Amino acid sequence: MEPEVQEEAREDHDDKQVVSEIMARCFIPTLVTSISWEAFHFVGHEIRIAEAMDCYGAVVWPSALVLCYFLETNAKQYNMVDKNVIEIGAGTGLVSIVASLLGARVTSTDLPELLGNLQYNISCNTKMKCKHLPQVKELSWGVALDKNFPRASNSFDYVLAADVVYAHPFLEDLLLTFDHLCKETTIVLWAMKFRLEKENKFVDRFKELFDLEEVSSFPSLNIKLYKAVKKNRRNA
Ligand SMILES: C[S@@+](CC[C@H](N)C(=O)[O-])C[C@H]1O[C@@H](n2cnc3c(N)ncnc32)[C@H](O)[C@@H]1O
């Protein structure tokens, strides 16, 4: 076999193996109850997530699992203990919960209509289990950022985001939000699901403001995990 073909086969095998390990962290209960929930295993905990079917943020998306798995398996390099962490577009809250279980001081954010379910999941899964109780807060991308998250008092070590780029009209506001929340030392960890060309262009726009590094790629899920830090504008 040609070396390139061999390499491709190896990457394909690695991708499938890690993806099946990531997906195995989720199990759907066989018991039918009035609340629809799924369970996930991360950081030695069973995390129960209540879901709804009425909007994008109401279910756990595969990118969230990819990011949780990354946080758990890279906890030494990306140490969350006592770090200030904000998640944007948190949806059902799985990523925020895992970051909290890893010891971070988490602010979990989303649109106002998502906050009830988000707060419920976060409270159920972090009470008495985490060093710092996570906060749930509204953050509609691009809206009242200076008022609700004043630049001068933002001191986030990490900004986390899973599957926040898709066909919605707020992509520029999303970029503005990333920019607003980050200072020069903030690390963005972002799991991106690739779907359509228009959304892919977001990555190019993002690169104008941030130095972007692909940390891992899961071709069978069309998901990439990125790490980013703000470009040093003085030297740009
Ligand atoms: C595809 S879901 C991903 C949810 C979660 N991160 C996950 O991976 O399971 C996208 C999330 O972005 C949020 N979102 C969409 N538009 C938004 C906006 N303009 N401002 C804030 N959040 C928004 C949605 O409410 C939703 O929770």
Q: Residue 91 Cα, ligand 1 centroid: separation in angstroms?
A: 6
Using 70 as the pLDDT threshold, list the residues of the chain that sit under it: 29-35, 53-57, 233-236
Protein residue with least CA distance to atom 13, ligand 1: 89
Q: Is the CB of 99 within 6 Å of ligand 1?
A: no
The per-residue pLDDT for 12 is 79
Q: Is the CB of 162 within 6 Å of ligand 1?
A: yes
Residue 40 phi, psi (nearest 5)? -135, 150
* Whole-structure pTM value: 0.92
The per-residue pLDDT for 168 is 82
Protein residue with least CA distance to atom 23, ligand 1: 89
Q: Is the CB of 111 within 6 Å of ligand 1?
A: yes
The per-residue pLDDT for 199 is 73
pLDDT digits (tens, 9 = 90+) for 132-178: 999 999 999 999 999 999 998 889 999 999 999 987 889 999 999 99
Q: Is the CB of 66 within 6 Å of ligand 1?
A: no
- Mean pLDDT estimate for the chain: 91
The 10 Å CB-count burial string (b at 16+, else e) for 81-115 is eebbbbbbbbbbbbbbbbbbbbbbbbbbbbbeebb
Q: Residue 165 Cα, ligand 1 centroid: separation in angstroms?
A: 8
Strands (E), the chain: 26-27, 37-42, 45-50, 84-88, 105-110, 135-138, 158-162, 187-193, 210-218, 223-230
Q: Residue 167 Cα, ligand 1 centroid: separation in angstroms?
A: 11
111, 138, 140, 141: residue to mutate for ligand 1 pocket, most atoms within 8 A of CB: 111
Q: Residue 141 Cα, ligand 1 centroid: separation in angstroms?
A: 10
